[in-house]
Copies of this chain bind each other. A is one copy, B any other.
Amino acid sequence: MGSTIYDIAREAGVSIATVSRVFNDSPRVTPATRDKVLAVAARFGYHPRALAQSLARRKTRLITAIVPIISNYYFMEVLAGMQDQLAESEFYLQISNIKTTGEVRGDDVRNQVEDIFKRGMSDGYIIISIHFDEADWENLKKYDRPITLLDEYYSGYDSVSVDSIEGGYVATKSLIDQGYKKIAMICAVADTKPVVERSAGFRKALEQAGLPYEEALLFYGTDIKRDGHTELNGYQAMKAILECGREFEAVFCNSDIQALGALKAMQEYQKYLAIIGFDDLSFSEFLGLSTMRQPMYEMGKIAIDKIINRINHPETDITHTIFSPRLIIRNSSLTTDPELAAKVEKVG
C-alpha cells in the first residue's frame, strides 16, 4: 500500500528532511518547494505514519482514556467533555476498554491496566472509575507516565472527582427535609468506593437528624456486574426492601441506573416510595428521577486540561478538583402525602 517519505522525496527531487518539514509545517521551507512536495504527496496519497513519527519524536501525541467497561453510561458524558476540550490541542484521544466480568476489581483488572502501560503507546493516561488501593496506585508509578484520575482520588496523581460522602449526605437530607423518617438505602457491591462513601453520607444525615442508623437500612442486589451499577441490581434491591416486612417511606439509591430498576420493582408491587438517585444520567430527567448531579461533562474537560498540563510540565504540583454534587429534585422524591407536601417547596 504505502508510499514512504523516500518515494515522495525522490519524486519531488528533494531530501526526506524537506518532505518531513513540509508535513510538520516548518516555516523553513520555500512556498515553491512546499507546493511541489505537497503535489507529489497528493498524487501518491502519502501521509506520514503516526507510528514512525512517534518513534522518532519520542512523543506519541496520544492520550489514552482507560475505562472499565464503557457501559458506564456515566462515561458517555465525560467523553463529550474530553472531546470538546481536546479540540484545540495537538493530542489525539484513544479509548482503552477494561473488560470486567462481575466486579471491577481484582488482579484481572490490574493486569489489564498494566498491560496498557507496558505497551507505552501514549503520552498520558486518564484513568476513569477505577478504584485501586494505595499499593496499586503506587505500583503504576514505575511506568513513569503522566496520569490523571477521574472519579477517583489518590494523593499521588492529579484527579478530578465528586464528593460522594457529601452527595450521600445531601441526598438523604433532602429526603428528611421533606418529612420522611423511614429511609432505606440501595447500595451496589459492598466495600466499593462509591458505596462506602455514599452510605457514609447517608448515615451522617440520619444521625444528624436524630434518626437511628442501622446496617439493616442498607439493601443490596445480587447482580454484581459493573460493581452492581445495573438496572437489575437496583430492581433486586428494591424488591428486598418491599419484601423485608418493614415499612419504608423513602429510598436513597446509589445510582440512577439502579434507580431505574428500582422503579420497576415498585411498579410491580404497586407500592411507591420516594426515591432519589445519584449521577443524573441523560434519561433521568425523562424518568422524573430526583438525583445528585455529577458534572460529568465538566469533569471530562478538566481531566484533559490536567493531563495535557502534566505532559507539558511534568514538574508542576499535583492538584485535585473535587466537586460537590448538585441536588436535583424531580417528581420521584416528592412526597404524595399532602401533609408532608405542605411543608415542602419544589426545589429543581
- A-side residues, CB < 8 A to B, are 1-2, 45, 47, 49-52, 54-55, 60, 69-71, 73, 75-76, 79-80, 83-84, 87, 92-97, 99, 118-121, 142-145, 230-231, 235, 257, 260-261, 263-264, 267, 282-283, 285-288
Contact = CB atoms under 8 A, between A and B. Distances in A.
A235 B286 contact: yes
Contacts of A79: 69-71, 97
Contacts of A92: 119
B99 A231 contact: no
A282 B115 CA distance: 30
A19 B22 CA distance: 37
B120 A286 contact: no
Copies in the assembly, this chain? 2
The 5 residue pairs across chains A and B that have the minimum distance between CB atoms? A1-B144, A50-B119, A95-B95, A47-B118, A264-B286
A283 B232 CA distance: 9
Contact of A51 (B120, B142, B282): B120
B282 A231 contact: yes
The interface centre, meaning the residue of A45, A96, A235, A283 with most chain B CB atoms within 10 A of its CB, is A283
A256 to B, nearest CB: 10
Contacts of A2: 120, 144
10 contacts: A50-B120, A51-B55, A69-B76, A70-B70, A83-B97, A87-B99, A93-B97, A94-B94, A95-B96, A261-B286
B49 A51 contact: no
A128 B50 CA distance: 23
A279 to B, nearest CB: 14
A104 B212 CA distance: 53
